[in-house]
Amino acid sequence: MFGAVPKTIWNKLNPSDENNLCDWALRSLLIEDGNRLILVDNGIGDKQSTKFLSYYYLHGDDSLNSSLAKHGFNRDDITDVLLTHLHFDHCGGSIIRKGEDLVPAFKNATYWSNERHWKWATEPNEREKPSFLKENILPIRESGQLKMVDGSSPEENDKKMPAVIRHVSTTIPHLSLRFVYGHTDAMMLPQIIYKENTIVFVSDLFPSTAHIPVSYIASYDVFPLTALNEKKLFLNEAIDKDYILFFQHDPVIECCNLKLTERGIRMKDSFSLKDIG
């Protein structure tokens, strides 16, 4: 999770256990906007084999169903499932087993990806292949519930995984998308206007608050130098415009804002969404 940063340093930020494993969250985001109920990512799911799931030592009492129920919703209420990218820990809950069949977990929802990332995930390179599981991905298209976001392709002269953050609007009034290319090709970061604040779902560009320093690049990132430059670009914009960062994998902290220090841009205050007034 921390790439070239020595364990003697990162272990102070997110201590590992005797198996050299750290705790991480699988945090999704539910957005209610008029008659739209949008779910951003949906975790690993539970259809994989016991052996597969045992590698990740899943623990805790939360589930997607129970979390939705806390807010008075269930899976059938979801109108849109926005997938930041198609690694199994972000999209595994998209599909469930019903007998011998693999079917959408959200039967009334439109699933959103983008053509560039879809191609990347369905024709995977050898390094990422274990993260792109066909049973999580192909049944979405086969269901007829998949739609693609426009705007995932950089300019013609900029196809070498650009260190550029591209920004496109969506049909959802208070939500836009930022495209980044370092962690995996054409990952989408939802940006939401909420109570006059701009909240960015930072997905795997910043898995946790410990990854705010630009050199803390996960080994999962396929293009680490691109990811590093994207982090710089985003952090400068975020501090200038006072963005709130929403973290998907931080085991403790849900949101934070930023401050400029002598060591660079760092976390200022940590809080949860319910604290945003």
pLDDT digits (tens, 9 = 90+) for 31-56: 998 899 999 999 999 999 999 999 99
pLDDT value, residue 156 = 43
List the domain boundaries for the chain. Answer: 7-275
Only one residue has tokens 């209610």, namely 32
pLDDT value, residue 173 = 75
pTM of the model: 0.92
For the residues 49-64, what does the mean pLDDT come to? 91
Domain 7-275: CATH superfamily is Ribonuclease Z/Hydroxyacylglutathione hydrolase-like (3.60.15.10)
The token pair at 78 is: 């979801």
- The least confident of 5-14, 128-137, 179-188 is 5-14
Q: What is the pLDDT of residues 202-234, one digit of tens each?
A: 999 999 999 999 999 999 999 999 999 999 999
Q: What is the pLDDT of residues 81-116, one digit of tens each?
A: 999 999 999 999 999 999 889 999 999 999 999 999
Q: What is the pLDDT of residues 111-163, one digit of tens each?
A: 999 999 999 999 999 999 999 999 999 999 999 999 999 866 655 444 444 44
Look at 158 and 270; give whichever has higher pLDDT. 270
Q: Chain centroid to CA 217: how far? A: 15
Question: For residues 109 and 144, is the Cβ–Cβ distance under 8 A?
Answer: no
Using a 10 angstrom Cβ sphere, with 0-12 exposed, 13-18 middle and 19 or more buried, the burial of residue 153 is middle
Spell out the SS3 assignment of 120-166: HHHCCCCCCHHHCCHHHHHHHHHCCCEEEECCCCCCCCCCCCCCCCE
pLDDT value, residue 169 = 63
